[in-house]
């Protein structure tokens, strides 16, 4: 995880040597291990590059990087496959070495077509005055752009800032492909022209039409002085996943398993599916490909084992390197189970479970005195007194649905592997703490997204990934802060496996054909709907979000299956949606969690209960509207 930024000016009066302080601060939070700036000036333009690194693998490599020809590279990504990166190597250096050897546009596109893993990048070619930038196919890393002063300046950044000026100045760079701008030409013509090299899996004959469609859609959201055009050579990036299998069954699908469509979900019903040899084989293949995806994401990080021999450091004193956004639901349970396979046994795993207090309640006098007298959850980040009190408050104030299923999931994991230290981190958030930190930090991270749903999920993920809470063991409460730099999340499972209620509605009204289209649409919009926001929110703590369900091989495997092998929505909730994942959970030895129905994070954590009851998820959220900078002065009083 890194914070990367490039500020470009095309007129002398707008040249500057430093980024604005608030933008610089936001970038540094993403990359606390190294910060560096580099200024590249030409007669016609100036580029200010700013790089802030979170060190996760290989040798700490400061950014921006510059080679002997003056080329500059900023990289916020992880190479998990496709390009060979040795264990001791840093992927930023490897990628820059390859880029420096590229002789033409086609070479650059071939390189990024090969990379498997999340990324966003900015690359300056000094000799041609070209600036390349973009995000991976799914948009798993945030990159924003901001055009101002009628084309005299523009900025690319991992994260933006709030401003009291025109709203929505920052926009997400579409994950439609890679963009290129000719800086010299732009400075002369005074108009910004972005050339698009789109992602395509299909044949070259169809590239032109689809690229034109993408260009039209992107241009509609940009200022009039900015235009997007298809590249003249009709070059494109190769999509990293196979197309979605849209095949429909020859026989009526409604007849499948109709004899069990009206009974309550049980583990025995799932076992029936596993008696089918083909289905059992498909489930095992899914487990294998997902297990490899998790393995790459929990082992591709720097561990301090070489500093402290294991025999010297007690297991109970070891720190978790990996945290999991954990509700106890099917997605997080499967990820935790697979992570347990690959993370060293003497290394704890942090299970990050967040709950919001709907309203203040009086502490019952009969509550265990020892529990009440426990020390408040003071942490190195020194959150407000209210947050500390909330973390040590009685359970009844924070008995959210996800807290209940989370504790049940913890017991399952402890039963499966009692040798592992499972840190179940109870993260309790009061109304006051939510309101204060939403204003001070979360607001600008969620933007440019602006709905009630974005507010709820953005806040929930921010507090969960921050990891400040308590461990409750044997009735004792201990303050705890997760220092895990890697945070695994289950996003992508619902989108691919028909996990949302809207999938069921679509199936009921338009059958399997409609369900296929819904799944295709969900995956197609995940970059703009979810991933940029989640990357900005989690990255604000100097941590990196990793998404096993969106591994290229996992998506390709699931895309290759007919829809009825992934979900069967003729069956009741708790079985039919995400059927293949539930069967995998059974094969992995999970019990009650395999049957839990989908529950959205905003409801499971109870954050949705803290706001207006008449709000719709798609409504614009007033709590996220741009506010004056004066109102952000509260941030100076909060050490986070």
Give the distance, in angstroms, between the CA of residue 506 and the centroid of all CA atoms in the same chain. Answer: 26
Angstrom CA distances, 304 to 57, 58, 163, 321, stand at 11, 12, 41, 10
* pLDDT value, residue 617: 82
What's the confidence (pLDDT) of residue 187? 87
Separation of alpha carbons 541 and 32, rounded Å: 9
- Crossing angle of helices 91-100 and 105-114, rounded to 10°: 150
Question: 241 is written with which tokens?
Answer: 């996943």
Helices (H) and strands (E) in the chain, counts: 21, 21
Strand boundaries in 264-321, DSSP class E? none
H/E element, 459: helix 452-466
CA distances from 389 to 386, 404, 440 (A): 5, 21, 20
CA distance 38 to 588: 50
What gap in Å lies between CA 428 and CA 403, rounded to an integer?
10
Burial 52-83 (b: 16+ CB within 10 A, else e): bbbbbbbeebebbbbeeeebbbbbbbbbbbeb
How is domain 267-301+318-625 classified at the architecture level of CATH?
Answer: 3-Layer(aba) Sandwich (3.40)
Torsion of CA 478, 54, 527, 451, to 10 degrees: 50
Whether pLDDT at 373 is above 50: no
Query: How buried is 427 (Cβ within 10 angstroms: 0-12 exposed, 13-18 middle, 19+ buried)?
Result: buried
Which tokens hold the place of 211?
Answer: 């690229």
pTM of the entire predicted model:
0.89
Give residue 127's pLDDT.
92
H helices present in 307-448, as ranges:
330-342, 369-372, 385-391, 401-416, 431-437, 443-446
CA gap 487, 499 in Å, rounded: 22
| Residue 33, C-beta contacts closer than 8 angstroms, at least 6 positions apart | 53, 54, 55, 60
Identify the H or E element spanning 453.
Answer: helix 452-466
Tokens 């979000």 belong to 545
Torsions phi, psi for 511 (to 5 deg): 70, -160
**438 Cβ neighbours under 8 A, 6+ residues apart:** 455, 459, 623
Closest to 598 measured CA to CA, from 578, 583, 624: 578
| pLDDT score of 532 | 96
User: Residue 494 corresponds to which tokens in the numbers above?
Assistant: 């619902």
- 102-106, 148-152, 258-262: the lowest-pLDDT one: 258-262
Instruction: Report d(CA 92, CA 117) in Å as an integer.
Output: 13
pLDDT in tens, 154-172: 999 999 987 655 545 899 9
Residues 575 and 554 sit within 8 Å (Cβ to Cβ): no
341: pLDDT strictly greater than 80: yes
Please check the confidence at residue 31 and state whether its pLDDT lies above 90.
yes
What is the rounded distance in angstroms from the CA atom of residue 8 to the CA atom of residue 147?
A: 10
> Is it true that domain 2-238 has CATH number 3.60.20.10?
yes
List all residues 6 or more positions away from 97 whose beta carbon is below 8 Å from its beta carbon: none
CB 74 within 8 A of CB 35: no
pLDDT of residue 302: 78
| pLDDT of 238 | 95
Higher pLDDT, 189 or 523: 523
459 is catalytic: no
pLDDT at 623 over 70: yes
Backbone φ/ψ region at 574: left (φ over 0), alpha (ψ -120 to 50), beta: left
What confidence score (pLDDT) does residue 213 get? Answer: 67
pLDDT score at 474:
78
- Residue % of the chain over a pLDDT of 90: 65
For residue 514, what pLDDT band results from cuts at 50, 70 and 90? very high
The ranges assigned to domains in the chain are 2-238, 267-301+318-625
Q: Phi-psi region for residue 551, left (φ > 0), alpha (ψ -120 to 50) or beta?
A: beta
Looking at residue 610, what is its pLDDT?
76
Length of the chain: 640
* Sequence-ordered strand ranges (E) for 64-143: 65-66, 72-77, 119-125, 130-135
Separation CA 65–CA 120 (nearest Å) = 15
Cα-based torsion angle of the residue sequence 309, 315, 319, 324 in order, rounded to the nearest 10 degrees: 130
Q: Which of 13, 46, 31, 20 is nearest to 124 (CA)?
A: 46
Average pLDDT over residues 507-524: 95
- Find, among 30, 263, 292, 7, the residue nearest to 122 by Cα: 7
Residue in the structure block whose two tokens are 């990504």: 77
User: Is a pLDDT exceeding 80 seen at residue 200?
Assistant: yes
Number of C-beta neighbours around residue 87 at 10 A: 8
């Amino acid at each position: 995880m890194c914070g990367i930024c490039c500020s470009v000016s095309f007129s002398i009066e707008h040249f500057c040597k430093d980024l604005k302080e608030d933008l610089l601060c936001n970038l540094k939070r993403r990359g606390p291990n190294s910060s560096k700036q580099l200024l590249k000036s030409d007669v016609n333009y100036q580029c200010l590059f700013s790089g802030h690194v979170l060190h996760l693998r290989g040798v700490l490599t400061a950014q921006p990087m510059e080679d002997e020809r003056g080329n500059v590279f900023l990289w916020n990504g992880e190479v998990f496959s496709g390009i060979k990166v040795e264990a001791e190597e840093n992927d930023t250096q490897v990628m820059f070495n390859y880029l420096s050897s590229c002789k033409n546009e086609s070479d650059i596109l071939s390189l990024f077509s090969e990379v498997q893993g999340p990324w966003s990048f900015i690359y300056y070619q000094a000799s041609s005055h070209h600036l390349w930038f973009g995000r991976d196919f799914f948009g798993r890393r945030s990159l924003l752009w901001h055009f101002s002063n009628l084309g005299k300046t523009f900025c690319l950044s991992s994260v933006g800032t709030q401003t009291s000026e025109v709203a929505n100045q920052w926009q997400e760079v579409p994950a439609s492909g890679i963009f290129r701008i000719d800086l010299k030409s732009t400075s002369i013509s005074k108009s910004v022209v972005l050339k698009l090299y789109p992602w395509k899996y299909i044949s070259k004959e169809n590239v032109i039409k689809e690229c034109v469609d993408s260009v039209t859609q992107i241009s509609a959201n940009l200022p009039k002085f900015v235009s997007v055009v298809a590249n003249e050579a009709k070059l494109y990036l190769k999509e990293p996943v196979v197309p979605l299998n849209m095949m429909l069954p020859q026989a009526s699908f409604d007849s499948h398993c109709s004899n069990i469509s009206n009974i309550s979900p049980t583990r025995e019903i799932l076992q029936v599916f596993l008696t089918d040899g083909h289905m059992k084989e498909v489930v095992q293949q899914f487990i294998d490909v997902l297990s490899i995806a998790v393995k790459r994401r929990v082992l591709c990080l720097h561990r301090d084992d070489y500093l402290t021999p294991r025999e010297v450091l007690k297991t109970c004193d070891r720190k978790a390197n990996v945290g999991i956004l954990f509700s106890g639901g099917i997605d997080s349970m499967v990820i935790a189970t697979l992570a347990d396979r690959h993370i060293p046994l003497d290394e704890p795993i942090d299970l990050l479970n967040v709950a919001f207090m709907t309203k203040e309640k009086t502490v019952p006098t009969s509550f265990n005195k020892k529990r009440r007298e426990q020390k408040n959850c003071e942490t190195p980040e020194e959150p407000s007194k209210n947050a500390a009190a909330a973390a040590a408050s009685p359970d009844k104030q924070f008995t959210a649905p996800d807290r209940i299923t989370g504790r049940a999931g913890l017991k399952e994991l402890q039963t499966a592997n009692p040798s592992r230290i499972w840190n179940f981190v109870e993260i309790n958030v009061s109304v006051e703490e939510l309101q204060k930190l939403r204003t001070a930090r979360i607001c600008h991270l969620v933007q440019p997204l602006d709905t009630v749903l974005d507010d709820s999920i953005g806040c929930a993920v921010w507090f969960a990934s921050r990891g400040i809470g308590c461990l409750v063991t044997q009735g004792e409460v201990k303050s705890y802060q997760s220092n895990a730099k890697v945070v695994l999340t289950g996003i992508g499972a619902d989108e691919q496996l028909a996990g949302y209620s809207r999938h069921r509605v679509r199936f009921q009204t338009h059958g399997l054909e409609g369900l296929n289209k819904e799944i295709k649409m969900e995956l197609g919009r995940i970059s703009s709907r979810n991933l940029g926001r989640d990357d900005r929110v989690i990255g604000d703590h100097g941590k990196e979000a990793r998404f096993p369900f969106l591994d290229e091989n996992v998506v390709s495997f699931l895309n290759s299956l007919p829809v009825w092998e992934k979900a069967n929505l003729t069956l009741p909730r708790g079985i039919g949606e995400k059927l293949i994942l539930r069967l995998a959970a059974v094969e992995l030895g999970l019990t009650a969690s395999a049957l839990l129905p989908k529950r959205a994070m905003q409801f499971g954590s109870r954050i949705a209960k803290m706001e207006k009851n008449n709000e719709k998820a798609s409504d614009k959220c007033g709590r996220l509207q741009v506010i004056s900078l004066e109102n952000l002065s509260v941030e100076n009083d909060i050490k986070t």
